[in-house]
Amino acid sequence: MAHIMPGFIVGLREGLEAFLLISLMLEYLKKLDRREMMSSVIKGMYTGMGVSILFGAILWFITRLIGNGGDAVAKLWEAGASLVAVLFISYFIFWMIKYGSGVAGEVRKSVDENLSDRGLYLLSAVAVAREGAEIALFTFTAEHKAVYLSGNLAGVLTAALLAWLIYRSLFRVNTSLIFKITLIYLILQAAYLAGYSVHEFLSALKEIGSLSSDNFLFANVYDFKDTFLDHKTGALGIFLNVSAGWYSRPEYIQFILQFLYLAGFFTFWKKRNGALE
């Protein structure tokens, strides 16, 4: 159950953002009395979902293929691909922080600039594919991918229902609060992923014999292995890993990178709009 929650939260967050963006586009087209163009937005939404699924399938296939090349190759792939994933996810987080408070205005501006069937189709397709790509990237880097994917699907379906209820004015929810809470979660998980990519790279170097196991780079800041704080087996450790990106035996470089990532993004968010006040 614990491993489902990260996938659910990511699916809910990204799914809700994607569906609400579509809702804003549809509402604005109604206001402009251009209802005939709404079908282009819907078609773009389905296309974006299809692109996201295809992107996720490609990542899954490559991971399975690379995994057959041995532990060292698999770890090098995990390290490199995780680092690339961090870069993409970091861009998405940066975009959310920069434009999140004025997203409705950005959507209206984009609709005005792309007021044609082709333009609206591409606009909605890209908006949904962007959120779907982030889900795929997090799923790809998850340790328990199948369980994580199940959480994703549950989160996206919940997001679709919430967005529909909000669009029909049948339900009111503080989406701003939801986005803030889930954005904090994404930053925590992305920081964990940044540190994990370094950890896997060091492990790969050890596997191929480039680094010895007693190298100073493998020194741990702390080690809670086989205790209740173990991030894989400990009751509290698993909870902290799922909720805050806790790692129970990080190397110094892994720990420092994770801390700097957190400090950098939370400082940027604070300076940008005082969101943490």
Question: Which domain does 230 fall in, by range?
Answer: 4-273
- What value, to the nearest 5°, has the Cα angle with vertex 48 and ends 131 and 136? 45
Measured CA to CA, the distance from residue 100 to residue 115 in angstroms comes to 23
Work out the average pLDDT over 140-161. 86
Residue 172 has pLDDT above 80, yes or no: no
- What value, to the nearest 5°, has the Cα angle with vertex 225 and ends 219 and 228? 140
Distance, C-alpha 139 to centroid of its chain: 8
Buried-state track 229-262, b at ≥16 Cβ within 10 A, e below 16: bbbeebeebbebbbeebbbbbbbebbbebbeebb
Q: What percent of the chain lies above the pLDDT cut of 70? A: 92
Measured CA to CA, the distance from residue 193 to residue 204 in angstroms comes to 16
State residue 100's pLDDT score. 66
Residue 143 has pLDDT above 80, yes or no: no
Which residues contact residue 70 at a Cβ distance below 8 angstroms, ignoring those fewer than 6 apart? Answer: none
How many other C-beta atoms are found inside a 10 Å radius of the C-beta of residue 101? 15
DSSP-derived 3-state class of residue 220: strand
Q: How confident is the model at residue 222 (pLDDT cuts 50, 70, 90)?
A: very high
Question: pLDDT for 173-219, tens place per residue?
Answer: 676 777 788 888 889 989 998 998 888 888 888 888 888 888 898 99
How many other C-beta atoms are found inside a 10 Å radius of the C-beta of residue 65? 10
State residue 101's pLDDT score. 60
Which residues contact residue 6 at a Cβ distance below 8 angstroms, ignoring those fewer than 6 apart? Answer: 138, 142, 148, 151, 189, 242
Q: Is the CB of residue 187 less than 8 Å from the CB of residue 265?
A: yes
Work out the average pLDDT over 119-129. 92
Work out the average pLDDT over 151-173. 84
Check residues 53 and 204 and name the one with the higher pLDDT.
53
State residue 265's pLDDT score. 93
Residue 236 has pLDDT above 80, yes or no: yes
State residue 275's pLDDT score. 47
Distance, C-alpha 157 to centroid of its chain: 16
For the four alpha carbons of 77, 78, 83 and 89, in that order, the dihedral sign comes to positive
Work out the average pLDDT over 88-99. 84
Residue 269 has pLDDT above 50, yes or no: yes
Work out the average pLDDT over 36-43. 93
DSSP-derived 3-state class of residue 239: helix
Pseudo-torsion of CA 172, 110, 39, 13, nearest 10°? -40
Distances (CA, A) of 189 to 45, 70, 138, 261: 27, 27, 9, 10
Read off the amino acid at residue 77: W
Residue 15 has pLDDT above 60, yes or no: yes
Measured CA to CA, the distance from residue 260 to residue 6 in angstroms comes to 22
Q: How many domains does the chain have?
A: 1
Residue 3 has pLDDT above 80, yes or no: no
* Start-to-end C-alpha separation, the chain: 32
Q: Give the chain's mean pLDDT.
A: 85
Phi, psi (degrees; rounded to nearest 5) at 275: -65, -20
Residue whose entry in the numeric block shows the structure tokens 């229902």: 161
